[in-house]
A and B are shown apart, each in its own frame.
Chain A
Amino acid sequence: MTFKPALIAVDAGSTDPGPYYLGTGEPLAPRIAVERELEQLLTAVVAEGIPLVVGSCGGSGRNDQVAWTVEIVRDLAHEHGWHFRMATIEAEIPIETVLAALPILEGYDAGPATHMGKILECGAFCADPFGMDVILGTLDEQGFTLEPGSLGRRCTVATVAGHSLYERENPYIQAGPGGYVDMTGTQFIQVDERRVRVTGTRFMREEPYRVKLEGVRPSGYRTVSVAGVRCPTMIERIEPILADVRKRMNAYFAGCEAFNLLFHLYGKDAVMGPLGRKINCLPHELGLVTEVIAPTQELAHGICHITTGTLLHYSYEGQKNNAGNLAFLHSPSEIDAGPTYVFSLYHLMEVGNSRALFPMHLEEV
């Protein structure tokens, strides 16, 4: 707070953890962590009399996650005897827009403001060494200057410019609500050891106004089973064995609703799945995650149980051990993981009146 910032802004959301949180409305972070961080942030902004902006509350910014966060804020305010005006905006809205919103409202150029917002949303990720703590952005008429909050970090031209690469396809052009940020003419200057100045970023407005729309849909229920394989006779034949078990399961459950049976072979090609080139070497141990996604939890559980049971007592040529093929990690050996979701929508939508999509509520706390 020695930097005397004009506002503090944090990003509570991400699509990184997958579609589940937007699908269910379950908060991504545990309540205890959100309480602790909001308490620190509110203590600081209440003392300074500056705004606090929290984007994509609860992980996805769903209305129920916004309400959950608002409830925590009200509780904290009550506990500490704080009074302030709180605005909540319902709908999913990208955080860089939220971070840039106040500066643009105060008349700053949307180019540098939005570019700065895009960098600040990841905190000190644009510093060396990178971290998840704070970064201070100072906006002026021509551009902005970045400085890490922690004295143990520094911003360099490479770390700041390099941030334009992160999690996006095009480092020069980045689409946002109402237009795109053009960084083809952007200049990065090392001001001193810890600060970098950025100028020349332009915001190109587009008509009609478009906003990003994210959507998920339910895709069934999941059951998983975790087991290890140590026997070399099994490891040598694991692929044909799994293929045969899959064939048997398709026959066994032929009359049931469609399901997805997945084997993840950790120690072989589980991590890169369809992308990696196959590497032909035999590990001394394999981790097998059997996963079933089916229209009901009961069916997913049943298929998972029969599949791992078939594999447990599967007999094959060259087998020396007839007591069981899987070292199960747990009892019960199946874990019902609940509903699953998939991203079904992720695009820019044309809107006539952008404000009507994002209703705002004001209250005095």
Chain B
Amino acid sequence: MSVKTLRELAQIVRSKNAKPFRLTFDVVFSDPLTYERVKAAKVLTREKIAELYGVTVDEIISVHEFDPGLAIKFTLRRRIPQGHPGDSDIYGCQQHAPLLDVQVPWT
């Protein structure tokens, strides 16, 4: 079975602060068919997100499949709040990179 990555399939893959204590991640698709196929493949479950980001399931605040926007979205509790000592990304906009390599079974 061949695979495709989210980098190939999604139109937008991004991370951003959702206020100072949370990071939110959006994977947005440009056509309904691709969105539905990725959704059905269950590649962004709580367990898979936890593994990808090295966090516990408890640190994942929510996972949403947002049909009107053709998007899968999840939100993590920030281990270090925005701007606290040790924070490495004030806008939270460079935390999306591991998502680009997520593989989706594609035949």
Contacts and interface: CB of A to CB of B under 8 A. Distances in A.
Nearest to A291: B85
Contacts of B94: 271-272
Which of B12, B19, B21, B88 has the most CB atoms of chain A within a 10 A radius of its CB?
Answer: B88
Interface string B17-60: 11111111010101000000000000000000000111100000
Contact of A277 (B18, B70, B86, B98): B98
Contacts of B89: 271-273
A317 B65 CA distance: 53
Contacts of B26: 162, 165-166
B30 A15 contact: no
Interface string B65-87: 01011110101100111111111
A157 B68 contact: yes
**Which applies to chain A's interface (DSSP): helix, strand, loop or mixed?**
loop
A182 B64 CA distance: 15
Interface stretch (A108-116, A168-176, A322-330): A168-176
Interface stretch (A4-12, A62-70, A229-237, A339-347): A339-347
A106 interface: no
Contacts of B71: 162, 165, 171
Contact of A161 (B69, B75, B98): B69
Contacts of A277: 52-54, 98
Given A19-B20, A169-B24, A274 B69 contact: no
B20 A171 contact: no
B102 to A, nearest CB: 13
Interface in A141-172: 157-158, 161-172
Interface of A: 15-20, 157-158, 161-172, 186, 188, 219, 260, 262, 264, 270-277, 291, 293, 340-343, 346
12 contacts: A15-B17, A16-B91, A161-B70, A162-B70, A165-B28, A165-B71, A167-B16, A168-B24, A271-B89, A273-B80, A274-B86, A291-B85
Given A15-B20, A165-B66, 16 more contacts: A18-B83, A158-B70, A162-B26, A162-B28, A167-B17, A169-B61, A169-B62, A260-B85, A270-B88, A272-B89, A277-B54, A291-B85, A340-B85, A342-B81, A343-B83, A346-B21
